[in-house]
């Protein structure tokens, strides 16, 4: 009887210790994620997920900073980070990955899985904790910024992502940045996909922000000069899209925020 009671108390104690350990670990993870957000927001413009995406995509950052951004994006669980995580994921995980010498394929795989599955118990806990005070945040060690960076707005970042993804032939992700006002149906989408797949190279040469109607929080406008080079074997076989021609093109792009995602809403050729 006594042994049963002792075992019962031991079991209850073990469960309590486990729960406390889990809660403390979750809160520590939350502190680290929020710290990564604060550091990224000091360098870039946008919400927490957007600035962490920019941190990952900025090759002037140290590999350690970029790996921490990958980890934090996985903890945040916002699926709009999936395209950029997949951009760097090769599917091949080496036996050893020095955190400061390579982009961690293990962290990328883990972050992608967390975003796709949507199940993260530790994140469920820390997302519901009160905001951390500045004193607590300042007590945490920070990653020193290495250089002054050019900050871009979330709308400009999405526009740049479109060109990068199209050039890398990540066409599903690129097409996701084009609104239904430009590709209204599957036929139009397939035409644009075929055209982008036929390009040998597409690259921004210059981008200039222009005044846009309405609030900058939901609308952006840019004058973009970009070069287009089509695969010589496919010229005249696959019709051009948007009127883009071989060589330098100059267009006025309008970006619009749909829910939480920025998309290319309209583009006009500049004479």
Say if 62 falls within a structural domain. Answer: yes
User: CA-CA distance, 224 to 159, in Å (whole number)?
Assistant: 10
What pLDDT score was predicted for residue 127?
A: 65
Residue with tokens 């209850």: 12
**In a shared domain, residues 191 and 257:** yes
**In a shared domain, residues 36 and 159:** no
Say if 27 falls within a structural domain. Answer: yes
Nearest residue to 164 via CA among 90, 59, 78: 59
State how many domains the chain has: 2
CA dihedral 116, 119, 120, 125 (to 10 degrees): 130
User: CA-CA distance, 190 to 184, in Å (whole number)?
Assistant: 11
Say if 149 falls within a structural domain. Answer: no
The pair of three-digit structure tokens given for residue 255, joined into one six-digit string: 């970006």
Tell which of 87, 110, 138 closes a domain.
138
Say if 148 falls within a structural domain. Answer: no
Tell which of 88, 103, 138 closes a domain.
138
**In a shared domain, residues 14 and 118:** yes
**In a shared domain, residues 121 and 162:** no
**In a shared domain, residues 14 and 128:** yes
Tell which of 138, 163, 179 closes a domain.
138
Say if 235 falls within a structural domain. Answer: yes
What pLDDT score was predicted for residue 250?
A: 93
**In a shared domain, residues 20 and 128:** yes
**In a shared domain, residues 159 and 131:** no
Say if 147 falls within a structural domain. Answer: no
* Cβ–Cβ under 8 Å, residues 69 and 34: no
- Vertex 217 angle, CA 152 and 59, to 5°: 20
User: CA-CA distance, 96 to 41, in Å (whole number)?
Assistant: 31
Nearest residue to 268 via CA among 221, 236, 212: 221
**In a shared domain, residues 158 and 134:** no
DSSP 143: P
What pLDDT score was predicted for residue 148?
A: 43
**In a shared domain, residues 179 and 255:** yes
Say if 52 falls within a structural domain. Answer: yes
Domain range for 49 is: 2-138
Q: What burial letters (b/e) apply to 111-126, b meaning 16+ CB within 10 Å? A: bbebbeeeebebbebb
What pLDDT score was predicted for residue 145?
A: 38
Say if 144 falls within a structural domain. Answer: no
User: CA-CA distance, 261 to 162, in Å (whole number)?
Assistant: 13
- Return the bridge partners of 268, or none: 252
**In a shared domain, residues 128 and 21:** yes
* Cβ–Cβ under 8 Å, residues 261 and 180: no
What pLDDT score was predicted for residue 252?
A: 93
Residue with tokens 């790996």: 67
What pLDDT score was predicted for residue 140?
A: 39
**In a shared domain, residues 12 and 124:** yes
What pLDDT score was predicted for residue 196?
A: 92
**In a shared domain, residues 115 and 87:** yes
Residue with tokens 């980890």: 71
> What is the pTM assigned to this prediction?
0.50
Residues near 182 by Cβ (< 8 Å), separated by ≥ 6?
188, 242, 264, 265, 266, 267
Tell me the CATH number at 241: 3.10.450.100
pLDDT tens series, the chain, 271 aa:
677 777 777 778 887 887 777 777 777 777 788 888 888 887 787 788 888 988 898 888 888 889 999 989 988 888 888 888 988 888 888 877 887 788 899 999 988 988 888 777 666 666 666 554 333 333 333 333 344 445 677 888 889 989 988 988 888 889 999 998 888 888 989 999 999 999 989 989 899 888 877 666 778 899 999 999 988 888 778 888 888 888 999 999 999 988 778 899 999 998 6
Q: What is the chain's percent helix, strand, coil content, to nearest 5?
A: 50, 15, 35
């Amino acid at each position: 009887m006594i042994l049963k009671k002792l075992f019962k108390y031991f079991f209850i104690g073990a469960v309590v210790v486990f729960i406390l350990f889990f809660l403390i670990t979750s809160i520590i993870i939350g502190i680290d994620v929020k710290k990564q957000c604060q550091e990224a927001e000091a360098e870039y413009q946008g919400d927490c997920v957007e600035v962490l995406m920019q941190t990952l995509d900025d090759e002037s950052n140290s590999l350690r900073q970029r790996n921490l951004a990958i980890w934090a994006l996985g903890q945040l669980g916002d699926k709009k980070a999936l395209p950029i995580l997949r951009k760097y994921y090769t599917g091949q995980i080496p036996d050893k990955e020095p955190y400061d010498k390579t982009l961690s394929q293990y962290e990328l795989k883990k972050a992608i899985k967390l975003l796709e599955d949507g199940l993260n118990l530790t994140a469920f806990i820390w997302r519901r904790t009160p905001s951390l005070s500045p004193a607590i945040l300042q007590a945490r060690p920070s990653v020193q910024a290495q250089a002054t960076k050019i900050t871009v707005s979330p709308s400009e970042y999405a526009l740049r992502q479109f060109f990068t993804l199209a050039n890398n032939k990540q066409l599903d992700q690129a097409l996701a940045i084009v609104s239904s006002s430009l590709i209204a149906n599957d036929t139009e989408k397939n035409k644009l996909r075929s055209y982008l797949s036929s390009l040998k190279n597409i690259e921004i040469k210059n981008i200039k922000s222009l005044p846009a109607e309405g609030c900058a929080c939901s609308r952006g406008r840019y004058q973009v000069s970009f070069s287009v080079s089509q695969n010589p074997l496919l010229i005249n076989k696959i019709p051009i899209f948007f009127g883009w021609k071989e060589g330098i093109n100059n267009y006025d792009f309008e970006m619009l925020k749909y829910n939480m995602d920025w998309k290319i809403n309209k583009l006009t050729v500049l004479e």
